[in-house]
Amino acid sequence: MTFQLIEHDANLSVVALPDAVDLYTGAGVRAAGEALLDSGCRYLVLDTSAVTCLDSTGITVFLAFWQRLAGTGGALVLAVPDAHLLRRLTLLGLDTVFSITPTLEEAVVQARRLRAHPVGRPAAPPGTRTEIA
């Protein structure tokens, strides 16, 4: 299983991460994500539901995505259904850095909301769901 693009809609991409994002796969995941960002993605949704192994290299990859997206006014949204992974991200203080939701659906909704109303503007109802099928 590798970095898998499951949705790509203008500047919003939804990606499923492999089961391991670590020392061995981190570079590949990072390169694939950077390529997406290079091609104009501003709102990146990462589905972590398959991730069982995330080490400091993996965290660094998330941070690299986040730093680039934050720099362009975009956002990184993580769907983290696993409580253990959520706990680790929370301990790292990353729950306040990234936008984290328990499901992929909510993550996509969140990303659309952020796109429709960038930080600083009042939040509005979620974007049309049909757009992402």
Partner 1 sequence: MTAEREQWPTSRIHRSRAGREEDENLALLFGTSPALFASMAGPAHVLEAANPAFFAAIGGGRRERTGLPLGELMPELAGQGFIGLLDQVYRSGERHVGRDARVVIGVGEEAREAYFDFTYEARRDTDGNVIGVRMIGVETTQVKQARRLAAEQRALLEQIARQAALPDVLDGMCRAIEELSPDVIVSVLLADEDGRHLRHGAAPSLPGFYNRAIDGIATGEGVGSCGTAAHRRRTVIVSDIAADPLWDDFRDLAGQARLAACWSTPILARDGRLLGTFAMYHRAPRAPQDTDLALARVFADTAALAIERHQAEQARLAADAREKAARDDLAFLLTASTALAGRLDETETYQRLVGLSCPALAPLAAVDILDAGGVRRIAAAAPTEEAHRLLAAHVPARDGEADPVARVLAYGLTEVARRTPTGPGPWQDLGVTGYACVPLLDRGRPFGALTLLSTDGHSFDGHRIALAEELARRASSAARSARQYEQRASLARDLQTGLLLPELPDIPGARLAAFYHPAGEGLEIGGDFYDVFPRGDGSWAFILGDVCGRGAKAATTTALVRHTARAVAPLLDDPVDVVKAVDKALNDRNAHQNNGFVTLVYGHLTPAADAVAVHLVRAGHTPPLLLDADHAVETVEAPGGLLGIGIPPRLACRRLALRPGESLFLYTDGITECRTDTAGQYGDARLAKALASAPLRSAAADIVRAVAEDVRGFVDGGDVEDDQAALIITAGEPAPDRD
Token code pair at residue 48: 């972590």
Residue 8 vs 57, nearer CB to partner 1: 57
Q: Applying CB under 8 A, does 50 fall inside the site for partner 1?
A: no
Candidates 13-21, 41-49, 90-98, 109-117; binding stretch for partner 1 (CB under 8 A): 90-98
Contacts of 40 (CB under 8 A, 6+ apart): 10, 11
Residue 36 sits at φ, ψ, to 5 deg, of: -60, -45
- Residue 26 CA neighbour count, 13 Å, CB half: 16
Q: Give 3 or 98: the residue with its C-beta nearer to partner 1.
A: 98
Tokens coding 69: 């997206």
Q: Which of 128, 87, 123, 92 is nearest to 109 (CA)?
A: 128
- Cβ 58 to partner 1, closest distance in Å? 10
Region binding partner 1 by CB under 8 A among candidate stretches 40-48, 86-94, 103-111, 123-131: 86-94
> Which two structure tokens, joined as six digits, stand for 51?
């991730």
Residue pointed to by tokens 């990859």: 61
Residue 32 binds partner 1 (CB under 8 A): no
Q: Could you say which of 56, 72, 118, 129 contacts partner 1 (CB under 8 A)?
A: 56
* Piece of the chain touching partner 1 by CB under 8 A; list 1-9, 43-51, 59-67, 98-106: 59-67
The binding site for partner 1 (CB under 8 A) comprises 55-57, 59-60, 63-64, 67, 88, 91-94, 96-97
